[in-house]
Chains A and B, each alone.
Chain A
Amino acid sequence: MKKTLNQLPIGHTAVVKEIMTDPITKERLESLGIIEGVAVDAIRETPLGCPRIYRALNTLITVRNNVAKKIIIEEGELG
């Protein structure tokens, strides 16, 4: 089973493998730093659980879970 960004536990890091959203959402994610091949940390959950906060390229980014669900990641030391 492929792991997606919304499943990344808080405090963990993973590398973005593939962004399967519509092209406009993808463009938006990428221009903020969530890009295929880039490492992303899961930083924090908001009190209501959605959106969650991630860090990529030294920027904090909020992504709703329904979008994070479409971002495939690879966890572990070796990207």
Chain B
Amino acid sequence: MGLSPATSGSSRVTYDPPSQDGWVTTRLEFLVNWSRANSLWPMPFGTACCAIEFMATAASRFDLARFGMERLSFSPRQADVLLCAGRVPYKLAPVIRRIYEQMPQPKWVIAMGACASSGGMFDNYAVVQGIDTIIPVDVYVPGCPPRPEALMYGIMMLQDKVMQQRSISDQAQYDEITIDPTSRLYIPPARIDELSEPFGNSVHQTRSAP
């Protein structure tokens, strides 16, 4: 890349960009992944305190622009990453599903915080037990709420994932999720019940009879 080998007996390396103008060699897949990973446009879906931490992450001190994510997309149609920050009640389930469906492929989802990942402490009748029961999730960021460093680590993990994709040969990433027409679920009901199993202290709260 413009570096000429050192002449014999000399440790000098010369650099002459004009002589190398217009040349770059790489794999197309790498180039596509590299440009995607470093220019992810997040769609913030902030419903709770995690969104405050996300705002801090996007602001000047932590500066999400370093990862090419400073362009927040408030329309799902121009977004790559759905960043769900906060608890999602059942009433919002069709909304987040519709937002995800409106995003163009390829698209990724980050579940930020305990509530978006698993329902968190809200093991009750109103809160979805993890948004992965509604839409597929790529990165789960733990914390209640996660610090900006944790969110940025999750974003870097997502960038790693994007870099490892077979973006040319693998067409599966462009497939939409298949939704069962009657139940509107994309994974089997038994899997959802398994994902929503109570954990921690809440196992002592048994379901009472109807």
Judge: A and B partners, yes or no. Answer: no
What residues make up the interface of B, taking CB atoms closer than 8 Å to A?
A: none
